[in-house]
């Protein structure tokens, strides 16, 4: 194998464990994508055999599934079954199921699985590169780097910040509105916007419709009369109101108790949305960054600089009194993956829905300070003399 995949089982240091997790998860995810596309993609079966080979190589002889169909069978069950029995599989991976009963990729496969993807082959020789979606074979950092490459090499900090903010705030919309907003924001065209996928379009009589997730504004999946965002932490689940007239825009009814705005239907004609990899690796992690910025700017005397020095850190926060913080925001499912690649900033902030990660991260990164968004905002407010 051209990449020199090592059989890592005999040397279970934590680095080797991390490697085993990443390789097994990537191979399983690639196999799941291949299986879900086997009727339309001529290279899918070859990819499936190749990934069966990678899994057996990583696990060692006789320990993994021996045929592609055996591997596919495991992909419809919790991923822990693919790991060696004595291996401490991270919780989020242990119960992760990659293929659903209709043999398509689950939403959690994308939400969680792609945090573990890595390049199994050198870029040029990856045989499935032409058709496999980038999130299944590139690491998050590679996707981000290729999106912003030109702006970074031009050293254009203003365009970089404007473009990054644009991709977070406008992951989907009407084509001409997107272009207008991009120009108004001084953002550059660095990523592809595609038509909304058929499983996210509601087939009306006179018009077709889609709904943006109220949190991250990307088209929600539609199944029968149910509409939901695949990102579990958003708790965005709705039902189409069947009582509405068939010619007017259909309305949604909220099915969860989460505090969410109910989005209005948007016409699918000329609608576009960001490529999934860019949405997942730029928009999704960017939302808590902008939430933190917005909440900090409500405090008198506080200013915020986003992604200073072309993303040296996520934010710098300054007060008129001369206090200053450098902050990195991390929205990952596993704290150990944050600790394995520690952020540059001294202060690390996680979204409020990841408050359970604060104490483990404090233990893993003793020289950092770890906060939730709300905790950090309160800290800054206290330091500026405001009421906490």
Give me the residues that bind Zn ion (CB under 5 A), please: 213, 215-216, 229, 231, 234, 236
Burial 345-382 (b: 16+ CB within 10 A, else e): bebbbbbeebeebbeebeebbeebbbbbbeebbbebbe
Q: Which is nearer to Zn ion, 166 or 238 (CB)?
A: 238
CB-based contact 267:208 (threshold 8 Å): yes
Q: Which is nearer to Zn ion, 210 or 231 (CB)?
A: 231
Residue matched to tokens 């990523």: 191
Q: Which is nearer to Zn ion, 231 or 371 (CB)?
A: 231
User: What's the CA gap between 77 and 334, in Å, rounded?
Assistant: 20
Residue matched to tokens 């950090």: 376
Q: Which is nearer to Zn ion, 221 or 378 (CB)?
A: 221
Q: Which is nearer to Zn ion, 31 or 329 (CB)?
A: 329
CB of 216 to Zn ion, least distance (A): 4
Residue 225: in which H helix or E strand, if any?
Answer: none
User: What's the CA gap between 382 and 388, in Å, rounded?
Assistant: 5
Q: Which is nearer to Zn ion, 2 or 256 (CB)?
A: 256
User: What's the CA gap between 253 and 66, in Å, rounded?
Assistant: 47
Residue 103's nearest CA partner among 80, 134, 69, 133 is 69
CB of 99 to Zn ion, least distance (A): 22
CB of 237 to Zn ion, least distance (A): 10
CB of 238 to Zn ion, least distance (A): 11
CB of 22 to Zn ion, least distance (A): 26
Query: CB-based contacts of 202: which residues, under 8 Å, 6+ apart?
Result: 208, 209, 210, 211, 222, 227, 240, 250, 265, 268
CB of 139 to Zn ion, least distance (A): 23
CB of 66 to Zn ion, least distance (A): 39
Query: CB-based contacts of 45: which residues, under 8 Å, 6+ apart?
Result: 34, 38, 68
Q: Which is nearer to Zn ion, 68 or 219 (CB)?
A: 219
Q: Which is nearer to Zn ion, 150 or 235 (CB)?
A: 235
DSSP state letters, 75-90: HTS-GGGGS-TT----
User: What's the CA gap between 313 and 249, in Å, rounded?
Assistant: 43
Residue 348's nearest CA partner among 381, 372, 323 is 372
β-strand partners of 324: 318
CA 55 and chain centroid, separation: 24
CB of 373 to Zn ion, least distance (A): 17
């Amino acid at each position: 194998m051209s990449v020199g995949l090592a059989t890592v089982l005999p040397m279970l240091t934590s680095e080797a464990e991390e490697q085993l997790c990443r390789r097994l998860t990537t191979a399983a995810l690639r196999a799941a994508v291949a299986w879900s596309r086997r009727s339309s993609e001529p290279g899918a079966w070859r990819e499936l055999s190749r990934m069966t080979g990678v899994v057996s190589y990583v696990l060692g002889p006789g320990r993994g599934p021996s045929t592609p169909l055996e591997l596919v069978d495991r992909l419809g069950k919790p991923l822990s079954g693919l790991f060696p029995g004595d291996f401490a599989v991270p919780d989020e991976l242990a119960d992760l199921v990659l293929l659903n009963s209709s043999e398509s990729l689950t939403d959690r496969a994308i939400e969680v699985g792609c945090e573990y993807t890595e390049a199994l082959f050198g870029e040029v020789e990856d045989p499935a590169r032409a058709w496999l979606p980038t999130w299944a074979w590139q690491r998050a950092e590679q996707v981000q780097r290729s999106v912003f490459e030109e702006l970074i090499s031009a050293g254009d900090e203003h365009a970089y910040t404007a473009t990054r903010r644009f991709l977070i705030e406008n992951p989907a919309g009407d084509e001409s509105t997107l272009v207008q907003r991009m120009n108004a924001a001084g953002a550059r065209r660095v990523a592809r916007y595609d038509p909304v996928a058929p499983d996210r379009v509601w087939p009306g009589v006179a018009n077709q419709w889609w709904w943006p997730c109220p949190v991250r504004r990307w088209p929600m999946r539609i199944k029968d009369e149910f509409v939901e965002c695949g990102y579990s932490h958003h708790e965005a689940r709705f039902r189409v109101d069947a009582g509405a007239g068939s010619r007017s825009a259909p309305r949604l009814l909220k099915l969860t108790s989460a505090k969410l705005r109910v989005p209005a239907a948007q016409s699918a004609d000329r609608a576009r949305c960001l490529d999934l990899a860019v949405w997942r690796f730029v928009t999704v992690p960017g939302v808590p960054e902008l939430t933190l910025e917005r909440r900090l700017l409500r405090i008198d005397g506080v200013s915020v600089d986003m992604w200073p020095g072309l993303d040296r850190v996520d934010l710098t926060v300054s007060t008129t009194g001369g206090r200053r913080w450098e902050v990195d925001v991390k929205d990952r499912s596993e704290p150990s993956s944050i600790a394995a690649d520690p952020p540059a900033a001294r202060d690390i902030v996680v979204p409020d829905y990841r408050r359970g990660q604060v104490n483990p991260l404090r233990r893993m990164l003793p020289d950092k300070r770890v906060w939730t968004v709300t905790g950090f905002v309160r800290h800054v407010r206290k330091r500026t003399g405001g009421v906490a």
